[in-house]
Amino acid sequence: MIGYVTLGTNDLPRAVAFYDELLSLLGGSRMMQDDSFVAWSGATEEATGMAVIKPFDGNPATVGNGTMVALAAATPEQCNAVHAKALELGGSDEGAPGPRDMPGFYAGYFRD
């Protein structure tokens, strides 16, 4: 249902370096870019795309506290690897990977 998600950034080169490495673990690759944004496609045609962008209005990007974008992992091991890579790349831990309160739901959370 979601076609793509766009996240604002005030440091495009840093955000792009972070997501180039992180999304490659999920089979993502760059599909479009210019001086103000970079977008990645998912591993399949059905996968949701993601982009980082300097805000169009020229104002600074701000933190959307409570905003969450879920990156789909195929296995708990892939979830663990993505979470670990996010922390390695300078992200902060917002919840270690593990089973959650819903049966069969496994997730890890980080802030970029």
Same domain, yes or no: 15 and 42: yes
Domain annotation covers residue 32: yes
Give kind and range of the element (H or E) at residue 41: strand 37-41
**Could you say which DSSP state residue 57 is in?**
T
**pTM of this prediction?**
0.82
CATH of the domain at 19: 3.10.180.10
User: Which neighbouring-strand residues pair with 110?
Assistant: 93
Closest CA to 51 of 32, 64, 66: 32
pLDDT at 1: 65
pLDDT for res 64: 76
**Whether residues 49 and 88 fall in one domain:** no
CB 23 within 8 A of CB 86: no
Asked if residue 51 lies in contact with residue 42, where contact means CB atoms within 8 angstroms, the answer is no
* pLDDT tens, position by position, 40-86: 998 888 889 999 999 988 999 987 777 789 999 999 999 999 999 99
Residue 90: what residue type?
G
Residues 9 and 51 occupy one common structural domain: yes
Give φ, ψ of 62 to 5 degrees: -125, 160
Is 51 in the same domain as 83? no
Residue 68 located in a structural domain: no
Residue 25's nearest CA partner among 82, 88, 64 is 82
The answer to whether position 110 is within a domain reads: yes
In this structure, the answer to whether residues 11 and 48 fall within a common structural domain is yes
Give the structural domain span for 4: 1-56
